[in-house]
Structure 1
Amino acid sequence: MKKSNLWNKIIPIIIITFMTNFNIASAQNVSEERITMLVTFNVKVEQKEALRKALIADKNGALNEKGNISMELFEHKDKPNTFYLFERWDNQKSLDEHFTKKYAKDVLELNKVALTKPMQILYLHDVSPLPKNEIKNPLSSDTPVDLVVIFKVKDGMQETFINQFQKSIVNSRPEQGNIEFFFHTVPGDNTKFVLYERWRSQAAIDFHFAQPYTKELFEMFKSALEQPIEEYLNFITEIK
């Protein structure tokens, strides 16, 4: 099968998946919705460097696209063959345009031979989004600590979980050591939630964990989560 024909089949699948997950009634609404995605890649050892290079090129290219809000690439600290792309787009049109770029096509093509299982895409709804100009970046003096947490919550605890995190967002973002603190629901699965947080240093996240509102979160986790919180924590390192 020619590469162009394969690509023509991939794009509609991506669009259909997005529309299904978000349960949106019309294509117009999809195009107006900001898109946040967490993409997980589990790569074969022998293909790791090739995929790393392709993902870096994809990220760097995306950052120059008008419709991109942010694109961050990470490696799992304890699972070195796992990569994450955390990306935000203005709308569906911007994402569609991204997938026409050579660097995006190169990643999808390499995925066919490089991964131990298909890439996992979570489309996310940001509970408290920020404008692009308010999203902070690390300083040159920072030694960032990054964390992504994919929670599975007991049915019936969703409202309590969201309310507690809304309180945490209000308190955590103003902390001097905070860079990013984003909490997401997962359309199509009302028991799954995703937290992405970035701190300027280990001391900054230690300070955060010591705050009363963070302790309240951890107390809630005991009754709200299906498994102990340690099962959901993923410490990650940014790849430049």
Structure 2
Amino acid sequence: MFALVVRFDLHDLAAATEFDRIVSALVTKIAANERGTLVYATHPVEGDPLARIFYEVYESRTALDVHEAQPWTREFLDNRDKYVRDVRVEFLSDGPAKGLPA
């Protein structure tokens, strides 16, 4: 299993609205097409209307590579700077969990 957390800080409320629209469409495509993507959860941050957190869990590092090669993911990654002023990615080590494969 391979997991990561990504924090996006957005430019302004207009950017946040468009970012959320794009992400909603992205998650629909991921859910329909990516068997190796086990969890792809996106969240606004309470008290910070310009922040979003993604929690992503993949079967393996290879599954992440497959995810990042998909045309819908490439489009998102190639265009996110229009909306995002800062991004922070943290790769996670395995740990105790409920609801995830062992």
TM-score by length of 2: 0.85
Shift of 1:238: 2.2
Give the secondary-structure state (helix, strand or coil) at the position aligned to 1:206: helix
Q: Percent identity?
A: 26
Instruction: State the distance in 2 between where 1:180 and 1:211 align.
Output: 16
What is the CA–CA distance in structure 2 between the aligned matches of 1:235 and 1:151, rounded to whole Å?
15
Deviation at 1:194, TM superposition (A): 0.5
Matched, 1:181 2:40: yes
Taking the aligned partners of 2:9 and 2:47, their CA distance within structure 1 comes to 13
Query: Which of 10, 14, 18 is equivalent to 1:160?
Result: 18
Distance in structure 1 (CA, Å) of the matches to 2:95 and 2:15: 35
Paired amino acid for 2:20: I
Partner of 2:73: 214
Q: Which is greater in Rg? A: 1
Amino acid at match of 2:25: K
* Aligned counterpart in structure 1 of residue 63 of structure 2, from 204, 207, 218: 204
**1:210 Cα shift?**
0.5
Correspondence list, 1:65-84, <5 A: none
Find the counterpart in structure 2 of residue 137 from structure 1.
Answer: none
**For each residue in 1:141-184, what CA deviation from the matched residue of structure 2 results, as whole angstroms up to 9, or x when unmatched?**
xxx11010111000020111101111111111231101101000
Unmatched 5+ residue regions in structure 2?
97-102
SS in 1 for 2:44: strand
Question: 1:222, 1:162 → 2: CA distance?
Answer: 14
What stretches of structure 1 move > 2 A for 4+ residues in a row? none
Cα RMSD after superposing both structures: 1.2
Report what 2:99 is aligned to.
none
Counterpart of 1:176 in 2: which secondary structure?
coil
CA distance in 1, matches of 2:73, 2:6: 14
Identify the residue that residue 190 of structure 1 maps to in structure 2.
Answer: 49
Q: Which has the larger strand fraction?
A: 2
